[in-house]
Chains A and B, each alone.
Chain A
Amino acid sequence: MARKADYKRFEALGIQNLAVSANLTFSQQTFAESLKLPFPLLSDFPDRKVIRSYGVLNERTMTAQRSFFLIDPQGTIRKKWIIENGPTTVVYSDTLLRGIEEVVGKR
């Protein structure tokens, strides 16, 4: 959860972080409390409509493939990162922040 520590850097760029997973809100509450996450977790369980509509549903495990989407205020996806080998790949905030800065510009 590198992004937790860097949360203010995302905020400074005007970014609202949201996390979506195919878990019950019940388990997400425990998860969020355990990590003291400063941003909301959204449950897409059991329908997985959001995950499927973003094209990142792993049909075998029925979980979301690790991925990030940058959406502008008009609702347009401006950039996305689809992570291969999600469970073992570390995604650094700097990678995301650089990509975001390319779109929204440095502040």
Chain B
Amino acid sequence: MTASQTEARRPTLFATILAAGLVIAAAASRVDAAEPALASLLQPLDLRGYRSATIAPGFSAETLGGRELTLTHLRGKVILMNFWASWCVECRPEMRVFEHLHRELGPRGVAIIGVNARESTEVIRRYARELDVTFPLVLDPAGKINTMYGVIGLPTTFLVGRDGRAVAFGVGPRDWGSAAARELIEALLREADSPAR
């Protein structure tokens, strides 16, 4: 994988403890500042929206099929990027739904991507065969993409718009086959695919 700059591998934290009353400039972005037009579509799925100018971090990585997947090459598509692992019980039902969406909506411009969390190729291959997964499964043996996206709980799923902007994310399973999810995906498909700002 590539990244323009190397980020800390783990979200190692150190707390600065301030006595109350000191005003600080909070640099952390609020995650509930979703675009107004989409906010109502994110709510039924309990997804957290990003500010409109947030770009999904780019990466290039090998897939289970032996191809290189580069996120920016998917510009123009609506991307559903799901972080998963074979041991994640709640991931399993989602995989079947994602496969269904891949087959049905793939031709219409929806890219489903699974990013595995630190498992071996053999484990991933066995899992994909068992669940008949045909959408791209990105290998992340060192967890670099997981770290870049801050994923510490599975499943976690990110939605990326056709212009490459990060739209929303959800930690934990969601009903991606629901009418609410379909409405959200359709809304994103209707958007223009001009480059993200």
Pick from A63, A69, A104: contact of B9, CB below 8 A: A63
Give the distance in Å from the alpha carbon of A90 to the alpha carbon of B11 in the complex.
16
Quick check: B8 and A69 within 8 Å, CB to CB?
A: no
- A residues 53-96 near B (Cβ < 8 Å) are 54, 56, 61-73, 75, 86-87, 96
Give the distance in Å from the alpha carbon of A22 to the alpha carbon of B6 in the complex.
10
B binding-site residues for A, Cβ under 8 Å = 5-22, 24, 26-29, 31, 48, 50, 54, 56-57, 147-153, 156, 166, 169, 171
Distance (whole angstroms) from the CB of A104 to the closest CB of chain B: 7
Quick check: B6 and A62 within 8 Å, CB to CB?
A: yes
Distance (whole angstroms) from the CB of A67 to the closest CB of chain B: 4
Given contacts A61-B8, A75-B22, contact A18 B57 (CB under 8 A): no
Given contacts A31-B150, A33-B169, contact A14 B15 (CB under 8 A): no
Pick from A26, A70, A86: contact of B150, CB below 8 A: A26
Give the distance in Å from the alpha carbon of A66 to the alpha carbon of B12 in the complex.
7
The secondary structure that dominates the B interface is loop
If A35-B152, A73-B20 are given as contacts, then 18 extra A-B residue pairs at C-beta distance below 8 Å, sorted by A number, are A14-B20, A15-B17, A20-B16, A21-B8, A23-B150, A25-B28, A26-B166, A28-B150, A29-B29, A31-B150, A31-B152, A33-B31, A33-B171, A34-B171, A40-B28, A61-B9, A62-B6, A96-B17
Distance (whole angstroms) from the CB of A39 to the closest CB of chain B: 8
Distance (whole angstroms) from the CB of B52 to the closest CB of chain A: 14
A binding-site residues for B, Cβ under 8 Å = 3, 10, 14-35, 40-43, 45-46, 51, 54, 56, 61-73, 75, 86-87, 96, 100, 104
Quick check: A20 and B13 within 8 Å, CB to CB?
A: yes
Quick check: A24 and B19 within 8 Å, CB to CB?
A: no
Quick check: B28 and A41 within 8 Å, CB to CB?
A: yes
Given contacts A27-B147, A42-B28, contact A16 B19 (CB under 8 A): yes
Given contacts A28-B28, A43-B28, contact A67 B14 (CB under 8 A): yes
Pick from B11, B14, B24, B27: contact of A31, CB below 8 A: B11
Give the distance in Å from the alpha carbon of A23 to the alpha carbon of B166 in the complex.
17
Chain B residues near A100 (CB-CB < 8 A): 17
- Most chain A CB atoms below 10 A, which of B16, B31, B149, B171: B16
Pick from B26, B28, B153, B166: contact of A34, CB below 8 A: B153
Chain A residues near B11 (CB-CB < 8 A): 21, 23, 27-28, 31
Chain B residues near A87 (CB-CB < 8 A): 10, 12
